[in-house]
Amino acid sequence: MANTVKVLVWDIPTRLFHWLLAAAFLGAWLTGDSERWRLIHVTLGYSVFGLIGFRLFWGLIGSRYARFRSFLFNPSETWAYLKSMLANRPAHYLGHNPAGALAIFGLLGLGLATAGSGIAMDYELGGEWLEEFHEIAANGMLVLVLAHIAGVVLGSLQHRENLARAMVTGYKQGEAGSGIRRGHAGVGLLLAAVVAAYWAVYPSAATPPVEGGQTEALQGEHDD
């Protein structure tokens, strides 16, 4: 890559969203099976829902490479890119490439389906089928996450560029002037503050009266 300079590609809200989503998803996945971790599970699951909600909004008004418009590719372009990836000669994109975009829309959709079905269960909607759906969506998302990570590793090798590091620092090598001008630290700070406040407050605020626990014990005392 001759004549390239370091340019800012990923704004701060996009990077923060990414790593918070990865952590919340993995945490929710790991705690799904056990009653003991249910409150943490639900907190992280709602976080996934809220984070994706934020991303949908940021995809409309965010900086250049965060906008959905910048990574909406038609099927023939996506197909051509996937073939070129397999042939080890993929074209270089400064923002998301068509294969990455495919995984991203899949991850956002499955994240909404998984967290949405969890929330529906929380409101006691649906029956056993919803629990089944929740589990299948969660496992489907895990498979897509693994494919996503494999794609990131392959893309990094093919382009000799550390894509994961770029998702941390925001910078990539590109033509002068092709980067974004602002990191939108203010929006990032707001996002971090909302998530931190939610994590601090929700687990205690949401603690339900435990069945057979304190509430019933108190009633028992009155009966005596």
List residues binding ligand HEM (CB under 6 A): 14, 17-18, 21-22, 25-26, 28-29, 32-33, 41-42, 45-46, 48-49, 55, 66, 96-97, 100, 104, 107-108, 111, 114-115, 118-119, 121-122, 131, 134-135, 138, 145, 148-149, 152, 163-164, 167
**Residue 132 or 216: which CB sits closer to ligand HEM?**
132
Distances (CA, A) of 22 to 53, 76, 114, 212: 15, 30, 14, 36
Tell me how far apart the alpha carbons of residues 45 and 40 are, in angstroms, rounded to a whole number: 8
**Residue 83 or 165: which CB sits closer to ligand HEM?**
165
Minimum distance from residue 193 beta carbon to ligand HEM (Å): 19
Minimum distance from residue 22 beta carbon to ligand HEM (Å): 4
Minimum distance from residue 222 beta carbon to ligand HEM (Å): 31
Q: Which amino acid is at 71?
A: F
> 178 is written with which tokens?
């092709």
Classify residue 117 as exposed, middle or buried by CB count within 10 Å of its CB (0-12, 13-18, 19+). buried
Q: By the 8 A CB rule, do 161 and 172 touch? A: yes
Closest to 20 (Cα-Cα) out of 205, 202, 193, 217: 193
First to last CA, the chain: 82
**Residue 122 or 175: which CB sits closer to ligand HEM?**
122
Minimum distance from residue 134 beta carbon to ligand HEM (Å): 6
**Residue 45 or 179: which CB sits closer to ligand HEM?**
45
Minimum distance from residue 224 beta carbon to ligand HEM (Å): 34
Angle at 122 between CA 117 and CA 124, to 5 degrees: 95
**Residue 107 or 180: which CB sits closer to ligand HEM?**
107
